[in-house]
Amino acid sequence: MALEHDTRGDHYIVEASGCDPKVIGDIEKVQNILVKAAEKAKSQVWAVSFHRFPPNGVSGVVVISESHISVHTWPEVGYAALDIYTCGADTEPEAAVYYIIQEFKAQNVHISELTRGIDEGDRIYYHSIITWEEEPVKREKSKRG
């Protein structure tokens, strides 16, 4: 007999390299991308807070009813660190991940997906982790050709 598992959420930790500095250094663009990503994930936006760090980094969080989407960018090296956490069976956090990395024009991406709050009925929670690499530019070209 297989055990039935209950989970509390999906958490994506994303390292995006080779991003377009003009995109990830622009606070308005980054904010708009993350808000749109929340919509792509079928989440309800509750609050938005972003800050520009001199000379050109951006940090921000979009608080959603299902948790959060956050970012910190280093345009001078083309790097963005993303954190996307959602709970609820109706959200699509992976859609947010792929939308953001496409809009940031990331060349290489390292993704860790954590399934959070796994419970086998004893209320002792744990998580599982799956990690993989993406090359969004090559993936887009292969879809077209």
Instruction: Report how far residue 51's alpha carbon sits from residue 57's, in angstroms, rounded to the nearest whole number.
Output: 9
Relative to beta strand 108-118, strand 79-86 is unpaired
Helix crossing, 93-103 with 136-144: angle to 10°? Answer: 90
What are residue 32's phi and psi, to 5 degrees? Answer: -60, -40
Q: Which of 3, 2, 1 is nearest to 122 (CA)?
A: 3
Q: Which of 67, 70, 127, 128 is catalytic?
A: 67
Q: Is 87 a catalytic residue?
A: yes
- In sequence order, the 6+-apart residues with CB closer than 8 A to the CB of 71 are 30, 34, 58, 59, 60, 61, 80, 81, 82, 83, 100
Q: Is 67 a catalytic residue?
A: yes
Q: Which of 72, 112, 128, 142 is catalytic?
A: 72
Q: Which of 87, 110, 127, 128 is catalytic?
A: 87
Q: Is 19 a catalytic residue?
A: no
Catalytic residues: 67, 72, 87
